[in-house]
Chain A
Amino acid sequence: MTKTQSNKAWWLVVPVLILVAFNAFIPLLTVINYAFQETFGNNVFFWEGTTWFEQVLNSSRFHQSMMRQLAFTGMILLIEVPLGIGVALTMPRKGPWVSVCLVLMALPLLIPWNVVGAMWNIFALPNIGLLGHTLNSMGIDYNFTQQPVAAWITTVIMDVWHWTSLIVLLCYAGLSSIPDDYYQAAHIDGASRWAIFRYIQLPKMKRVLTIGILLRFMDSFMIYTEPFVLTGGGPGNTTTFLSIDLVKMALGQFDLGPAAAMSLIYLLVVLLICWVFYTIMMRNEEQ
């Protein structure tokens, strides 16, 4: 659509600007304030320059939580995206089952995040929970509160449980915009199942899938509540992701300087990756 050039349109954006800027600018300035200075309270500040940044960037604690975060985000994307596409492809297209599937699949998306954590905690408790009890009675030694590997697997499966449906719903929406004629034409041409997927279904899903991956990337990169309630970041520090580590540092130990520096580095990493995604997405849309 051709858009009209008019700077008066700014007036329509002003309410949004005020509300979001109030929430974004002032807190960001606070963070920057803490990141470059040292304070002992009473609003007295001492200039520290980049000390905190060097400290954070050189600390093995930050490296480890960043590695854990990257590993976690990579793992859940590798599982959720193919699984989501697979489920969306096999879902019924018409009939009463469509609503049933949609409602049941959307359910995990609307459960408060701490309840998701609590639910999986209960589900996976050895001896008491459904999953923990079943695994242990099958002879598999499983205790996510003590075994790092079990804690990791449980956290990843919890996220798959929680968020795959978002990918399913998005892909399903993309698929349902394909007219039946396309499939009939492909059928007449004798196209293979793979060819249908590659040349008809995938292109239609591309835009929604990019949005899905972007949302999943952002949300998994800032995951806090679910693993915090499920494992508390443990055993040890094995499931301490970036946000958990940050909250521990800021509100637990009250190391405001390093925490603020870490916040800014964290924010820049997220923004950089999202900017790359966003640019690619916009370029695709313009084509």
Chain B
Amino acid sequence: MTNPKKWLVPTLYILFLMLPIYGLLSMSVKSTNEILSGFTFFPQNFTLENYKVIFTDSTWYNGYINSIIYVVMNTLLSVTVALPAAYAFSRYRFLGDKHLFFWLLTNRMAPPAIFALPFFQLYSAIGLFDTHLAVAIAHCLFNIPLAVWILEGFMSGVPKELDETAFLDGYSFARFFIRIFIPTIAAGVGVAMFFCFMYSWVELLFAKTLTAVEAKPIAATMTRTASSSGYELGLLAAAGSLTIIPGAMVIYFVRNYIAKGFALGRV
């Protein structure tokens, strides 16, 4: 860019985004004494003690494993069932299609707080309480509608001639869908998976309500630590810093798809 002033706005914005993250990272490498004795911009006594606690204590590191298990389960489940549905919405007109589409979206709009208590009762009743599967299925409530919405946008961008030619060539529906159609909208599948991963990874209310010990997510481990021993700020900061990593990795892998995907699809 020739205009140097143009750099100012994004730079300041990114600086604003990075400051709280820096605060968290720097606190995670301080000792409790240093944190409580007053503010220091740079850590005076650099220590990895907080991280060591997390990587050696099974209640901590199991939290990460649990979270990743249900997030991956949910992402795969949501996108798999959303693919044929999105195809139906993009290619066919059928009885009640518009109402069904809006009804799906309303589930993305419903505040999770409304469902917290009924979810607890429902999943206890069917014996899924405190399993990864329970959280993975519960997160479908908002991730499936979103995935259908995104994928439908991508699929509508693919000309119908592709389908017709394939059927004339004697492809069965299933074979056409898996061999030809899904590879064509690979970018869309990537974007949908990104969003499902994102919303499942950041959600806490359902994940906390539906788990106790076996499938407890890292986010819930953190809140319980925070309330039981209020002064372990360093440990909390270290746990928080580690939760940034999976997200950062996912963004890094899909960085080229995001801008392109947004432009092509609906979201």
Residue from A27, A101, A173, A250 within 8 A of B263 (CB atoms): A173
The interface residues of chain B lying within 8 Å CB-to-CB of A280 are none
A119 to B24, CA, bound (A): 6
The interface residues of chain B lying within 8 Å CB-to-CB of A99 are 255-256
A274 to B106, CA, bound (A): 8
At the interface with chain B, which of A55-63, A141-149, A194-202, A265-273? A265-273
Are A130 and B23 in contact (CB-based, < 8 A)?
A: yes
Are B137 and A22 in contact (CB-based, < 8 A)?
A: yes
The interface residues of chain A lying within 8 Å CB-to-CB of B85 are 12-13, 15-16
Are A222 and B111 in contact (CB-based, < 8 A)?
A: yes
Interface residues contributed by chain B, number (CB under 8 Å): 101
The interface residues of chain B lying within 8 Å CB-to-CB of A208 are 262, 267
Residue from A12, A20, A90 within 8 A of B144 (CB atoms): A20
Kindly identify, within residues 83 to 111 of chain A, every residue whose CB is under 8 Å from any CB belonging to chain B: 83, 86-87, 90-92, 98-99, 101-111
The interface residues of chain A lying within 8 Å CB-to-CB of B106 are 271, 274
Residue from B13, B87, B116, B236 within 8 A of A105 (CB atoms): B13
The interface residues of chain A lying within 8 Å CB-to-CB of B95 are 7, 10
Are B222 and A119 in contact (CB-based, < 8 A)?
A: no
A247 to B208, CA, bound (A): 13
The interface residues of chain B lying within 8 Å CB-to-CB of A131 are 19-20, 23
Are B204 and A113 in contact (CB-based, < 8 A)?
A: yes
A177 interface contact, C-beta 8 A: yes
Are A6 and B94 in contact (CB-based, < 8 A)?
A: yes
Are A251 and B93 in contact (CB-based, < 8 A)?
A: no
> In the assembled complex, how far is the CB of residue A65 from the closest CB belonging to chain B, in whole angstroms?
12
Are A113 and B140 in contact (CB-based, < 8 A)?
A: no
> In the assembled complex, how far is the CB of residue A280 from the closest CB belonging to chain B, in whole angstroms?
13
Are A108 and B17 in contact (CB-based, < 8 A)?
A: yes
A152 interface contact, C-beta 8 A: no
At the interface with chain A, which of B54-62, B118-126, B181-189? B118-126
Are B244 and A103 in contact (CB-based, < 8 A)?
A: no
Residues of B within 8 A of A (CB): 1, 6-10, 13-14, 16-24, 27, 35-36, 38-39, 41, 77, 81-82, 84-85, 87-95, 97, 100, 102, 104-119, 121-122, 137-138, 140-141, 144-145, 148, 156, 159-160, 198, 201-205, 218-219, 222-223, 226, 233, 236-237, 240, 243-244, 246-248, 250-252, 255-256, 258-263, 266-267
Listed from nearest, the 4 A-B pairs whose CB atoms lie closest are A110-B247, A173-B262, A27-B118, A222-B111
Residues of A within 8 A of B (CB): 1-10, 12-13, 15-17, 19-20, 22-24, 26-28, 30-31, 83, 86-87, 90-92, 98-99, 101-115, 118-120, 122-123, 127-131, 133, 161, 164-165, 168-170, 172-174, 176-177, 208, 211, 218, 221-222, 224-225, 229, 242-244, 246-247, 250-251, 256, 259, 263, 266-267, 270-271, 274-275, 278
- Name 11 extra pairs, CB < 8 A, besides A5-B94, A87-B13, A170-B262: A4-B93, A23-B137, A102-B259, A114-B219, A118-B236, A130-B23, A173-B258, A222-B110, A222-B113, A224-B111, A274-B106
